[in-house]
Amino acid sequence: MSSGMDDPSTPRFEAILTPRRYQQVADKISEEIDAGRLAAGSRLPPERELAVQFGVSRPTIREALIALEIMDLIEIRPGAGIFVKASPPARSGVQPVTGPGPFEILEARRIVEGEIAALVAPQISERTIARLEDCIALMVEENAADYTSYVGDRRFHETIAAETQNSALVDIVKYFWEQRSTAPLSLRLHEQVAPAEIRLKAVDEHRLIVDAFRSHSAEAARRAMQRHMTRVMRALLTRWQALTAEEPETAKLANATIVQRIPREELGA
């Protein structure tokens, strides 16, 4: 049985070599839709084929697909796949989605906040640890009330950044959360694939971060923070795979450019 890549009628794509890759991918696919080479109502090729053709990671493909959905060019049919809209708007009238993708933000957070945690751990005060515990208590309350504001979660990470007494690091962490709270791609991703179990698991992971701070070990704090970010990324990837009827993701995580930079012990945690 031949794949869509072997069919001469299937659109062919060139590798993307520029920054902000998901935007470039979304632009190329929208060109194919506008030209009719991806017909209205047709199913898009599987993520794995798009990733190979474009030469990008599967998280990048996901970010591009979310952007195209926001642009009203495609629709996700749970359990069936991703399809071109029956009546997609003309490309000239579509407002492109900009800004970093949600998986880019998560990778950046894993790197930056991991080092922030390592910087803070040796001198963190009991007062700050108590404030972090208050943040976790707020997260529990928000989960019980089914809130989606993430106030406790955000306050937790910003409290750690503030402990560095470095305004640049504080601003960077605030920027991460502004992207999480306002960027269309991040909002749509979390709306679609961030169920309650991810939030519940996050509470346990934040407690592990606090335990690492109590040890005053820079390496333990770094590992706890990085594992938390990795688990969030992995959970979102897995939920997206289930939503779009793709094959199981776990065995293929190492093929993703972003994910393959994560140590194997974190992926397996």
pLDDT tens track for 127-166: 999 999 999 999 999 988 877 678 999 999 999 999 999 9
Residues in the chain, overall count = 269
What's the number of domains the chain is made of?
A: 2
What are the CB-based long-range contacts (under 8 Å, 24+) for 29-35? Answer: 29/64, 29/68, 29/73, 30/68, 30/71, 30/73, 30/91, 30/94, 31/91, 33/73, 33/74, 33/84, 33/88, 33/91, 34/88, 34/90, 34/91
The verdict on 27 and 75 lying in the same domain is yes
Residue 2 in any domain: the answer is: no
* 81 neighbors 43 (Cβ within 8 angstroms): yes
Q: Write b or e for each residue in 59-69: b if 16 or more Cβ atoms lie within 10 A of its Cβ, otherwise e.
A: bbbbbbbbbbb
- Provide the whole-model pTM: 0.68
Shared domain for 71 and 12, answered yes or no, is: yes
Is residue 3 assigned to a domain? Answer: no
**Mean predicted confidence (pLDDT) in 108-133:** 97
Provide the 10 A C-beta neighbour count for residue 23. Answer: 22
Q: Are residues 210 and 116 both part of a single domain?
A: yes
Residue 36 is classified by DSSP as T
Q: Which of 66-75, 104-113, 155-164 has the highest mean pLDDT?
A: 155-164
Residues 81, 157, single domain; the answer is no
**CATH code of the domain covering residue 164:** 1.20.120.530
